[in-house]
Structure 1
Amino acid sequence: MESAIDKHLKCPRTLSRRVPDEYQPPFPMWVARADEQLQQVVMGYFGVQYQGDAQREAALQAMRHIVGSFSLANGPQNHDLTHHTDNSGFDNLIVVGYWKDPAAHCRWLRSPEVNDWWASSDRLSDGLGYFREISAPRAEQFETLYAFQDNLPGVGAVMDTTSGEIEEHGYWGSMRDRFPISQTDWMMPTSELQVVAGDPAKGGRVVIMGHDNLALIRSGQDWADAEAEERSLYLDEILPTLQDGMDFLRDNGQPLGCYSNRFVRNIDLDGNFLDVSYNIGHWRSIEKLERWAESHPTHLRIFVTFFRVAAGLKKLRLYHEVSVSDAKSQVFEYINCHPQTGMLRDAQSPAS
């Protein structure tokens, strides 16, 4: 048994864990490991928004263009594609890329092929919406948790190895305890989301400034290789409960500190659904996310169901990654997106 916090990220604790040192978790779980050279990762969410079947092919072409740009120099080490329909009735395709070198990501983002396409007037006139939401947490600012040990998705795909069985899971507060920074820092948010360019109500180009310790969770489910019994377990028992919780946050999360919640289904380049899904949640803080997780009936049902089945999982793959980041390491930009998209809903406009 080992700590979720890697040895080179350990330091003397000034803030205690939620459980005693002799705590033993009820079933095995693992985390992703990176070598000491990893200083920071980049999690880039690049979206295409459209409405109705008439725009679907144009949106897919735009998505493929973004995927193609990942093949340029300094592109991400791993990516995946998703679709979801939001509660305003818009379809959204998101290309999610991960970099283990922020400087490479910066070179990619500023390359003429990428920057000129984003800055082109065509983005304002082609009838689609676009967004890019980028967070770049330092090594001490994110944690992972997997019920499996191979072919890690998401940020795990750009890490180096998988841990042995870890101690910090199976109890309320374990998510926080897996953050290296939690040894000395409460990860409290600073300021509010601010509109710094454009007007969400008018569309066009809008830039939002985030704040320190804005939290991002990706919580995933992969039933592609599951056999009949586990497929039924996921589709008939876990998914309905999960869907209820994710829909609740999507529609009612604002008072709880949830800026945006998207329950997405993975797709291929032609838009065909895969048997993989995940949630993308942006929160004001880890504390707000914890409070919902520990107290709200929708998440309690998810948690109880997972506890009941976790030890017996064979091919059903469940995981999550959670991060916080500094305001200077965040990008939230939108082009012709409806005003409920992502950070647009909760961003404060400058006083007139």
Structure 2
Amino acid sequence: MESAIDKHLMCPRSRNRRIEDDYTPPYPGWVGRADGAVEQVVMGYFGVQSKGEHYLGAACAALRKIMQGFGLVDGPGHHDITHYVDAAGYDNMIAIAYWDSPGSFQRWQSSEQIAQQWNAIESGSDGLGYFREILTPGVERFETFYAMPNDLEGVGVVMGSRSDEIQEHGYWGSMRDRIPLSQTDPMSPRGQLEANSDARRKVIKGHENLVVIRSGQDWSETEGTERDLYLNQMEPALRAGMEFLRDDGLPAGCYSNRYMQHLDASGQRLEKTFSVSHWRSLAHLERWSESHPTHVEIFGTFMKIVQQLGGELKWKGYHEVSVLRAEDQHYEYINCHAGTGLMQRG
């Protein structure tokens, strides 16, 4: 068993972990591992927004055009295709792309074809909304976790490999303990969201140590009792928690939450979902996770299912958490409704 923090990111601790050195987790878990030369990654959320069936075909075509750009030189090493219906009833088609090099991303984004594509969006009037949310955390500022022995998801795919079984999981506070910066820094928030906008385009500037979490689940390999328990007990509890964060999460410190569905290349739904949420701080996310009734219900339902099935699950779960500097966030919205992403808070 090894530490979740890679060896080259370890340093003398001035802040303690929540566990003793002889702690043994209750079930196995793994984290993504990147090459030591990787210092920063890019997580890009490229969205197309529409409302009603009349615009859905155009939205799908617009998303396909965005994804075609991923095939250019310096394009992302991995991307996911997703869909989300927000609280206002708008369809949001989002391609989530990952790079293991900010330099490659900047060359891609500033290339003539991509720059022209975004300029056309800014000047167009096709009845669609567009957004891009770009996160560029340093490797000391994010963590991953996989409750599955083989597969990788999200940023883990471009990290390229995984650890052996890790120690820091299965207890409240393990998320913080997996972030390398937590060895020396409380990662407290500073500042506020700031907005600059004109009639069609709004740019939000994030504050210091804002947190973004992507947390997913894959039930495609489940069957029988496990499948029934997931669809009829676990998923309803999860959806209720995600809707609470979407609609009423701000007092708990959650700026926005999307509960999203994976799609395949032809637009068909996969049996995989995940949430992406933005938080004031890691402490706010921790407090909700540990004590709010909606998450206590999610966690309690999961543990009951684990016990009922004797710990033998084909369900797969993972997450990635980033604690971001202000300069490592860019949120831009064009012709989107006022409740989109961080627009509703900026």
TM-score tier, shorter chain, comes to over 0.9
Percent sequence identity over aligned pairs? 52
In 2, Cα distance between equivalents of 1:133 and 1:160: 23
With the length of structure 1 as denominator, give the TM-score of the two structures.
0.94
Do 2:210 and 2:323's aligned partners in 1 also have CA atoms closer than 8 Å? Answer: yes
Deviation at 1:66, TM superposition (A): 0.8
Which residue of structure 1 aligns with residue 336 of structure 2? 337
Deviation at 1:121, TM superposition (A): 5.5
Do 1:30 and 1:164's aligned partners in 2 also have CA atoms closer than 8 Å? Answer: yes
Pairing partner for 2:236 from 228, 237, 240:
240
- Matched letter for residue 248 of structure 2: N
Do 1:64 and 1:269's aligned partners in 2 also have CA atoms closer than 8 Å? Answer: no
Which residue of structure 2 aligns with residue 280 of structure 1? 276
Is residue 293 from structure 1 mapped to residue 292 from structure 2 by the alignment? no
Do 1:250 and 1:260's aligned partners in 2 also have CA atoms closer than 8 Å? Answer: yes
In 2, Cα distance between equivalents of 1:313 and 1:55: 44
**1:41-120 alignment to 2 at 5 Å?**
41-120=41-120
Do 1:123 and 1:335's aligned partners in 2 also have CA atoms closer than 8 Å? Answer: no
In 2, Cα distance between equivalents of 1:66 and 1:239: 31
User: Per the alignment, do residues 123 and 224 of structure 1 end up closer, same or farther by CA in structure 2, a change over 3 Å counting?
Assistant: farther
Deviation at 1:76, TM superposition (A): 0.4
With the length of structure 2 as denominator, give the TM-score of the two structures.
0.96
Higher mean Cα deviation, 70-79 or 301-310? 301-310
In 2, Cα distance between equivalents of 1:107 and 1:96: 18
In 2, Cα distance between equivalents of 1:40 and 1:121: 28
Do 1:60 and 1:270's aligned partners in 2 also have CA atoms closer than 8 Å? Answer: no
Deviation at 1:160, TM superposition (A): 2.6
In 2, Cα distance between equivalents of 1:185 and 1:306: 32
Do 2:143 and 2:322's aligned partners in 1 also have CA atoms closer than 8 Å? Answer: yes
Higher mean Cα deviation, 337-346 or 304-313? 304-313
Which residue of structure 1 aligns with residue 322 of structure 2? 323
Residue deviations 1:174-209 (CA, integer Å, cap 9, x gap): 1000100000011112211101232xxx5x111111
In 2, Cα distance between equivalents of 1:325 and 1:83: 25
In 2, Cα distance between equivalents of 1:51 and 1:271: 17
Deviation at 1:313, TM superposition (A): 4.0
Tell me the matched-pair count.
343
Show structure 2 runs of 5+ residues with no match: none
- Matched letter for residue 229 of structure 1: T
Do 2:121 and 2:130's aligned partners in 1 also have CA atoms closer than 8 Å? Answer: no
Which residue of structure 1 aligns with residue 149 of structure 2? 149
CA RMSD of aligned residues (A): 1.4
Do 2:241 and 2:294's aligned partners in 1 also have CA atoms closer than 8 Å? Answer: yes
Do 1:149 and 1:162's aligned partners in 2 also have CA atoms closer than 8 Å? Answer: no
In 1, Cα distance between equivalents of 2:119 and 2:312: 46
In 1, Cα distance between equivalents of 2:123 and 2:320: 32
